[in-house]
């Protein structure tokens, strides 16, 4: 079994589901389909934990500090019958995507569809899918840039039906797959559960039956707790005894008596989505955090997949949210033809968070949101399901709105057939079942009087005769007319069931507000209907209108023309009244702070509704109740509260700096404003970033409750000058002689620095005029690459200086070196595995599935930054790899005179792609040879040029080691010396030439990869394996400063 198949077996996890079936009229039967593959081993879990810790420690994970969610593409593969029937629809896929997005927002993860349409696969064979067919199915139906989600008709594992399965995070492409049954796609649980495994969540009962008692999770969360190292590795998910003896449940109540190894009773969460109790679908904060960490594993560079499928440029526009009696109607314009559907999102604050509400099919451009709450301002936006671009936001202010009760099995035989309210004029018979078990009969109005009692009759079958199902009954009346049926407004709750008839009495309180309001009658099968809105399994709800009257005159405040107002402004107050107040009656408006019963009259004009009330300028800012009074009769306060705002003072401005460099920004902040800050240049907010091109003056105002202050004191941001310098000097010199160049700083601040075109940096300069010595090996024209000062950073440099050097003669190089990794002492030669497998830069791999190595020499990256044009497409069979050859005037890297990439042969001799260097034949030179995963070497002494040739054999003696501290040199193998292997981590700062744990971590992340030109293939045999680890073990801790000093 190859490495990938083994890994699949280890990390695969199948998800369980419950199927609830209504059998023989309301007898509920549950069937569990448990996971067919064992949980991951402790070693596998530990390896992933160690990788996450390393990623977070090194801050290599992009999500460690992100405030926006990560958008992850999902490629849907939809299995159909041969004739194209029975596959999941785009409507279902969009709904499933929305449900997943709503659950994963807190983890910082959101999903979008990869592609404008799913990958439809018509196949009777794979529609009824067995897990043994996975390799065959995915061979031609897989993308490496998205999560691959396969939606099948049926799903079998070892003859058992399961709802779905997924893989824990791994580097292999196999782990980037999820399989789902279509009928479980919208159960609100299975897909979310499987994605939890995909992002590294364990079951809540993980290891609870381990033969090693130390691995079983304890119940306690106090001293002695082991929840961070056992179970699902989380302490905010209770220890779970699922599957153990005596771990019983009764419905969704845990009744088990099993204890942990310390004798403490379990109290598991039955609502956690990673459990098998199927009583809810919630995640804990710890699980959200763990999935955010799991995303780091899914974004590793070593993975054989990348989650970067291009999102579509499908941007909806003209979004409008309109509140009405049925809810908030959201409409928008579809501007594209390639959307896969739409995701509607909602928030209760302008900055979010925005939670996915619903997924719509393509070309559907409206949605009714009836899951809303009275007196709430909602913010809506929309994006195409295969895009991460959002429409503009629109708002809807929900005022009085009544929730619609929910039933899991709507319009079952459990109904309220008749409802009669004697004396009130309600006689609603044989009504059947309303839409989704809810009937809005508010067109039927019952007339009642405050202080009176009314009898009612409810029947479970028309006329009370026939087959019925017993139901409990509760009745609510919204006396305060706020759109919410509160607990103290429940006027009846049965103690016995409709069997089939139930009678009772409702009393209207003497102080009930006069006017129309709503009454809700709700039933539930065999349980009490305690909540007017929440989801029940079976039953029905009916709403009616009650018109409450009083024998005494009453006033009812109805609406306000404004709910936010400034002191000194006026508003309209509408009201209704019953009865007569006499010929001389007058109406007035009164205010009282919320929480106070002391009302104060405000100036009022008008004799009928609406009245005009003026808020006195001295009124304290705050939230007030509003009522209308007449001749000593006061109305209840308006259901809309009034916020009175003082005209705020101008904000106080401050700046992070009063002068900036060109292109830089300053942060302007405004304090002493509790509302909206508006800036003179347009933006709003308590802080803004500005990048003026010239000195600019800014002011701001403060708006609170629609009240705008005067302008603040001005603040001016000035512009600092950029540093400028000029280069001059030069002349004609002999090779090895020095020339003097002068660099003059004309503007800018001290200290300053510049970089010559030879990449030499002259830093921390405290004089505006600097003279530098240069001794180029060839005629060179110097310019200023970069000029920088401490104030504004990069500036501009001008001028040039030519140093003419008499051309030296061409010198041939005869160099020999051995690499420890590929060297074989039994042959005295190095292996040519990379060459044989076609993995050297520019070659065509022997393995057609392998990725070709880009052509050209491999030393353009860190730490070498050598960009020479050397390249090769056809290699001699004796070529082992590329090496980088340098010549220095001294042992210092700063004295480097020449560099070139060359080819190393199996006998150690180096051949050169281009011509040899032009050197002064009277001089001696130090020779340096470097390799991409071996420690570099430096000749033990300067080597003279003899007869036009420079010859040096590194295999005959050790390298130069007299660095500070002393470098390790080469490894002696028998009578020869070879460069030390194991330095695969060349990219991190200050770790360019060390063999340490970072090289091991790179090897660990790539172990098992083959046919790749990879830095941790220390023995150059074209595969990353334990052999490379053995090389690293031998050389761990060795280092060389040849490349630094």
For the domain that residue 23 is a member of, what is the CATH number? 3.40.390
Quick check: 160 pLDDT over 90? no
Q: What is the reported pLDDT for 64? A: 47
Q: Which residues of 995-1026 are buried (b: 16+ CB within 10 A; e: fewer)?
A: bbebbbbbbbbbbebbbbbbbbbbbbbbbbbe
Q: Report the distance separating Cα 1012 and Cα 834, nearest Å.
A: 9
What whole-number distance in Å separates Cα of residue 923 and Cα of residue 920? 6
If one compares 703 and 458, the residue with the highest pLDDT of the two is 458
Q: Same domain, yes or no, for 610 and 575?
A: yes
Backbone angles phi, psi at 784, to 5 degrees: -95, 115
Q: According to the model, what pLDDT value does residue 22 have?
A: 23
Q: Is residue 279 assigned to a domain? A: no
Higher per-residue pLDDT: 53 or 22: 53
Query: How would you classify the pairing of strands 426-428 and 910-912?
Result: unpaired
Mean pLDDT of 195-211: 94
Domain of residue 700, residue span: 652-704+715-719
Please indicate, yes or no, if residue 1042 is contained in any of the structural domains: no
- Pairwise CA distance, residues 1019 & 1028, whole Å: 6
CA 123-125-128 angle, 5° bins: 100
* Among candidate residues 1023, 925, 935, the one with its CA nearest the CA of residue 981: 935
Interatomic CA distance for residues 295 and 479, integer angstroms? 51
Comparing CA positions, the residue from 753, 792, 509 lying closest to residue 636 is 509
> Which two structure tokens, joined as six digits, stand for 241?
């005894």
User: Quick one: what percent of the chain has pLDDT higher than 90?
Assistant: 62
Q: Is the peptide bond before 120 cis (omega within 30 degrees of 0)?
A: no
Cβ count near 813 (within 10 Å):
23
pLDDT (0 to 100) of residue 23 = 25
Q: DSSP H helical segments within 118-268, as ranges?
A: 124-127, 134-138, 190-198
Which of 645, 665, 681 corresponds to the end of one domain? Answer: 645
My answer on whether 1001 and 1019 are in the same domain is yes
Residue 211 lies in a domain: yes
Whole-number average pLDDT of the chain: 88
**Is residue 777 over pLDDT 90?**
no
pLDDT at 1034: 94
Question: What is the per-residue pLDDT across 929-969, written as a single tens digit (0 to 9) for each?
Answer: 999 999 999 999 999 999 989 999 999 999 988 888 888 88
* CB contact at 8 A, 151 and 76: yes
Element (H, E) at 154: strand 154-157
Do residue 876 and residue 1009 come from a single domain?
yes
Whole-angstrom distance, CA of residue 938 vs CA of residue 274: 59
Residue 692 lies in a domain: yes
Establish if 588 belongs to a structural domain: no
Residue 583 clears pLDDT 80, i.e. is over it: no
Q: How far apart are CA 873 and CA 867, in angstroms?
A: 18
Check pLDDT > 60 for residue 252.
Answer: yes
Q: Which of 331, 364, 398 is the last residue of a domain?
A: 398
Phi, psi for 546 (deg, rounded to 5): -115, 130
Q: In whole angstroms, what is the distance from residue 265 CA to residue 269 CA?
A: 13
pLDDT tens sequence across 1006-1029 = 999 999 999 999 999 999 999 999
Place of tokens 């200023």: 784
pLDDT tens readout for residues 277-304: 888 789 999 999 999 999 999 999 999 9
Instruction: Return the pLDDT at 648.
Output: 83
Q: What percent of the chain has pLDDT over 70?
A: 93
Nearby residues of 660 by Cβ (< 8 Å), 6 or more positions away: 666, 691, 692, 717, 718, 719, 720
Whether residue 245 is found in the same domain as residue 234: yes
Average pLDDT of span 907-915: 91
Distances (CA, A) of 557 to 191, 637, 638: 50, 6, 5
The band of 306, judged by pLDDT with boundaries at 50, 70 and 90, is: very high
CB 31 within 8 A of CB 184: no
DSSP-H helix ranges across 209-304: 285-298
Do residues 791 and 818 share a domain? no
For residue 829, pLDDT beyond 90: yes
Closest CA to 882 of 896, 871, 891: 871
What is the predicted pLDDT for the residue at 808?
65
Extract the tokens encoding 51: 């990788």
Look at the block and give the residue holding tokens 């002349």: 731
Give the model's confidence band at 11: pLDDT under 50 very low, under 70 low, under 90 confident, else very high: very low
- Name the CA radius of gyration of the chain, rounded: 39
Question: Can you give the CATH number for the domain in which 619 is found?
Answer: 2.60.40
List pLDDT tens digits, range 71-121.
999 999 999 999 999 999 999 999 999 999 999 999 999 999 999 999 999
Task: Give residue-wise pLDDT tens across range 523-563.
Answer: 998 778 889 988 888 899 999 999 998 756 778 888 899 88
> Sorting pLDDT into bands at 50, 70 and 90, what band is 31?
very low
Total domains, the chain: 8
> Is 185 domain-assigned?
yes
The domain boundary residue, chosen from 398, 430, 463: 398
Cα 545–chain centre separation = 47
Residue 6's pLDDT is what?
A: 32
- Is the pLDDT confidence value at 438 over 50? yes
Rounded-to-integer distance, Cα 492 and Cα 513, Å: 19
What's the pLDDT band for 407 if we cut at 50, 70, 90?
confident
- State whether 888 and 940 are in the same domain: yes
Identify whether residues 12 and 108 lie together within a single domain. yes
Give the mean model confidence (pLDDT) for residues 192-213. Answer: 94
**Cα distance between residue 1001 and residue 980, in whole Å:** 18
Q: Name the nearest CA neighbour of 776 among 727, 726, 737.
A: 737
Domain check: are 228 and 133 in the same one?
no
Over residues 608-647, the pLDDT tens digits come to 889 999 999 889 888 999 998 887 677 777 767 888 887 8
Say if residue 676 is in the same domain as residue 734.
Answer: no
Assess whether 77 and 193 both reside in one domain: yes
In a domain, 596, yes or no: no
Is the predicted pLDDT of residue 855 greater than 90, yes or no? Answer: yes
Clarify whether residues 910 and 946 are in a common domain: yes
Report CA torsion sign: 640, 643, 644, 650: negative
Structure tokens at 313: 């440029």
Domain co-membership, 134 together with 84: yes
Q: What pLDDT shows up at residue 537?
A: 81
- How confident is the model over 362-398, as pLDDT tens digits? 999 999 998 888 889 999 999 999 999 999 999 999 8
Do residues 722 and 662 make contact, with C-beta atoms less than 8 angstroms apart? yes
pTM above 0.75, yes or no: no
pLDDT confidence tier of residue 804, bands split at 50, 70 and 90: confident
909: in domain = yes
């Amino acid at each position: 079994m190859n490495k990938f198949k083994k890994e699949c077996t280890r990390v695969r996890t199948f998800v369980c589901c419950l199927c609830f079936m209504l059998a023989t009229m309301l007898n509920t039967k549950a069937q569990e389909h448990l996971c067919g593959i064992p949980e991951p081993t402790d070693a596998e879990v530990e390896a992933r934990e160690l990788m996450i810790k390393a990623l977070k420690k090194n801050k290599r994970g992009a999500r460690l500090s992100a405030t926006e969610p990560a958008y992850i593409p999902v490629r849907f593969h939809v299995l159909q019958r041969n004739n194209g029937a029975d596959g999941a629809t785009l409507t279902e896929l969009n709904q499933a995507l929305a449900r997943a997005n709503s659950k994963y927002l807190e983890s910082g993860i959101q999903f979008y569809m990869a592609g404008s349409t799913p990958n439809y696969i018509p196949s009777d064979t794979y529609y009824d899918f067995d897990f043994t067919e996975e390799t065959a199915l995915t061979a031609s139906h897989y993308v490496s840039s998205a999560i691959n989600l396969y939606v099948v008709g049926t799903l079998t594992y070892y003859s058992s039906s399961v709802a779905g399965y997924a893989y824990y995070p791994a580097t292999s492409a196999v782990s980037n797959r999820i399989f789902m049954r279509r009928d479980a796609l919208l159960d609100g649980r299975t897909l979310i559960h499987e994605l939890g495994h995909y992002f590294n969540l364990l079951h809540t009962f993980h290891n609870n039956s381990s033969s090693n008692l130390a691995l079983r999770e304890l119940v306690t969360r106090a001293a002695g707790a082991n929840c961070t190292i056992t179970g699902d590795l989380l302490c905010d998910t209770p220890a779970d005894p699922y599957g153990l003896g005596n771990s019983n449940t009764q419905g969704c109540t845990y009744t088990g008596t099993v204890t942990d190894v310390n004798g403490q009773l379990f109290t598991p969460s039955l609502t956690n989505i990673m459990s098998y109790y199927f009583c809810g679908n919630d995640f804990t904060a710890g699980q959200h955090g763990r999935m955010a960490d799991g995303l780091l594993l899914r974004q590793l560079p070593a993975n054989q997949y990348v989650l970067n499928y291009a999102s579509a440029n499908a941007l909806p526009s003209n979004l409008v949210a309109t509140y009405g009696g049925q809810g908030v109607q959201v409409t928008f314009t579809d501007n594209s033809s390639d959307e896969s559907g739409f995701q509607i999102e909602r928030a209760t604050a302008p900055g979010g968070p925005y939670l996915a509400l619903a997924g719509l099919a393509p070309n559907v451009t409206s949605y009714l949101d009836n899951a809303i709450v009275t007196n709430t301002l909602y913010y809506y936006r929309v994006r195409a399901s295969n895009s991460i671009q959002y429409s503009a936001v629109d708002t809807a202010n929900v005022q009085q709105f009544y929730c619609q009760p929910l039933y899991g099995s709507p319009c079952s035989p459990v109904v309220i057939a008749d409802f009669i309210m004697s004396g009130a004029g309600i006689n609603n018979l044989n009504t059947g079942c309303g839409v989704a078990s809810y009937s809005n009969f508010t067109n039927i109005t019952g007339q009642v009087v405050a202080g009176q009692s009314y009898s009612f009759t409810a029947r479970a079958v028309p006329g009370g005769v026939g087959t019925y199902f017993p139901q409990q009954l509760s009745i609510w009346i919204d006396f305060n007319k706020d759109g919410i049926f509160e607990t103290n407004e429940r006027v009846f709750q049965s103690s016995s069931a409709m069997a089939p008839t139930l009678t009772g009495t409702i009393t209207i309180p003497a102080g009930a507000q006069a006017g129309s309001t709503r009454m809700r009658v709700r039933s539930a099968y065999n349980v009490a209907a305690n909540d007017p809105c929440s989801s029940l399994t079976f039953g029905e709800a009916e709403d009616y209108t009650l018109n409450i009257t009083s024998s005494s005159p009453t006033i009812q405040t109805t609406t306000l023309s404004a709910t936010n107002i400034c002191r000194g402004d006026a508003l309209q107050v509408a009201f209704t009244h019953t009865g007569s107040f006499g010929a001389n009656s007058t109406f007035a408006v009164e205010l009282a702070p919320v929480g106070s019963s002391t009302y104060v009259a405000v100036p009022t004009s008008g004799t009928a509704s609406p009245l005009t009330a003026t808020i006195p300028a001295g009124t304290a800012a705050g939230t007030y109740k509003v009522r209308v009074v007449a001749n000593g009769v006061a109305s209840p306060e308006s259901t809309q509260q009034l916020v009175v705002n003082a005209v705020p003072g101008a904000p106080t401005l401050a700046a992070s700096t009063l002068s900036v460099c060109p292109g830089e920004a300053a942060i302007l902040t405004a304090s002493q404003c509790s509302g909206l800050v508006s800036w003179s240049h347009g933006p709003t907010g308590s802080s803004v970033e500005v990048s003026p091109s010239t000195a600019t003056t800014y002011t701001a105002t403060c708006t609170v409750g629609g009240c705008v202050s005067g302008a603040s004191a001005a603040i001016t941001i000035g512009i600092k000058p950029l540093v400028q310098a000029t280069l001059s000097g030069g002349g004609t010199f002999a090779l090895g002689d020095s020339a003097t160049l002068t660099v003059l700083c004309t503007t800018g601040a001290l200290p300053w620095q510049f970089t010559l075109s030879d990449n030499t940096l002259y830093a921390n300069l405290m004089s505006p005029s600097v003279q530098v010595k240069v001794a180029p090996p060839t005629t060179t024209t110097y310019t200023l690459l970069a000029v920088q000062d401490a104030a504004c950073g990069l500036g501009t440099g001008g001028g040039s200086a030519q140093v003419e050097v008499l051309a030296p003669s061409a010198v041939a190089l005869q160099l020999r070196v051995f690499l420890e990794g590929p060297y074989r002492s039994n042959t005295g030669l190095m292996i040519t595995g990379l060459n044989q497998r076609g993995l050297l830069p520019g070659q065509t791999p022997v393995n057609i599935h392998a990725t070709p190595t880009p052509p050209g020499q491999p030393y353009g990256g860190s730490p070498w930054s050598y960009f020479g044009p050397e390249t090769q497409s056809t290699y001699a069979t004796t070529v082992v790899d590329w090496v980088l050859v340098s010549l220095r005037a001294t042992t210092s890297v700063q004295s480097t005179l020449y560099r070139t990439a060359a080819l190393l042969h199996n006998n150690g001799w180096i051949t050169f792609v281009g011509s040899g260097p032009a050197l002064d034949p009277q001089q001696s030179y130090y020779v340096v040879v470097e390799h991409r995963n071996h420690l570099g070497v430096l000749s033990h002494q300067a080597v003279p040029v003899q007869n036009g040739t420079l010859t040096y054999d590194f295999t005959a003696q050790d390298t130069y080691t007299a660095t500070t501290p002393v470098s390790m040199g080469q490894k002696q193998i028998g009578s020869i010396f070879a460069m030390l292997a194991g330095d695969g981590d060349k990219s991190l700062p200050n770790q360019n030439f060390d063999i340490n744990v970072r090289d091991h971590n790179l090897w660990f992340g790539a172990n098992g990869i083959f046919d790749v030109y990879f830095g941790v293939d220390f023995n150059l045999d074209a595969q990353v394996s334990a052999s490379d680890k053995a090389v690293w073990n031998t050389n761990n801790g060795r280092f060389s400063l040849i490349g630094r000093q």
